Amino acid sequence: MIVYPGYLALSEQNFAANPEIHVTDKTPPTFIVQTEDDSVHVENSTVYFLELKQAKVPVEMHLFTEGGHGYGLRRTTLPVTAWPELVGNWMNTIHVLNK
Q: Is the alpha carbon torsion for 2, 4, 83, 41 positive or negative?
A: negative
pLDDT digits 0-9 by tens, 52-98? 999 999 999 999 999 988 888 889 999 999 999 999 999 999 998 87
pLDDT digits 0-9 by tens, 3-59? 444 556 555 566 676 677 788 999 999 999 999 998 888 888 888 899 899 999 999
Give one DSSP letter per residue of 58-96, joined into a string: -EEEEEESS--S---SS--SSGGGGHHHHHHHHHHHTTS
Distance CA 83, CA 17 (A): 25
Domains of the chain by residue range: 2-18+27-93
pTM of model > 0.75: yes
**Amino acid 84: pLDDT:** 93
